[in-house]
Amino acid sequence: MRESGDRPAGEDGGRRQRPGGGPTPRQIAIGVLAVVLVVFAAANFKSVRVNFLLFTTQARVVTVILVSALLGFGVGYVIGRPSRAERRRMRERKED
């Protein structure tokens, strides 16, 4: 009987091991993106005036960009998501 931490030979939990133990291409890409994000945030740290429909406020440029991106993602997700009836029809077609 296997203990909880034991795995059969060849099973690595879905993770690919690199021969030298170095970073994977995905890890390198994530690191590069993190550096770009930090540089972007530092370059856009200036405070600007933002006019909303009902009020005006001061915010940093990077904050305005990130909030706008998140709102755009949320709206796109809600609009692009199939309705409950459409999802039901898709499941029924898949089962046929």
Q: Is the predicted pLDDT of residue 37 greater than 90, yes or no?
A: no
Q: Considering the domain boundaries, does residue 38 fall inside one?
A: yes
**pTM (2 d.p.):** 0.52
Is residue 61 situated within a structural domain?
Answer: yes
62 in any annotated domain:
yes
**11 part of a folded domain:** no
Confidence of residue 47 (pLDDT cuts 50, 70, 90): very high
Q: What is the mean pLDDT of the chain?
A: 81
* DSSP assigned state of 9: T
**Which parts of 1-96 are beta strand (E)?**
47-51, 56-60
pLDDT single digits (tens) 14-31: 555 556 778 999 999 999
Q: How many domains does the chain have?
A: 1
Residue 8 lies in a domain: no
- Report if residue 6 sits inside a domain: no
Token output for 1 = 């009987």
Residue 59, strand partner residues: 48
pLDDT at 82 over 90: no
Q: At residue 6, what are phi and psi to the nearest 5 degrees?
A: -80, 145
**Residue 36 forms part of a structural domain:** yes
Residue for token pair 């029809």: 89
The answer to whether residue 3 is domain-embedded is no
Cα–Cα distance, 74 to 91 (Å, whole number): 24
Question: What pLDDT is attached to residue 16?
Answer: 59
Task: Give the structural domain span for 69.
Answer: 25-95
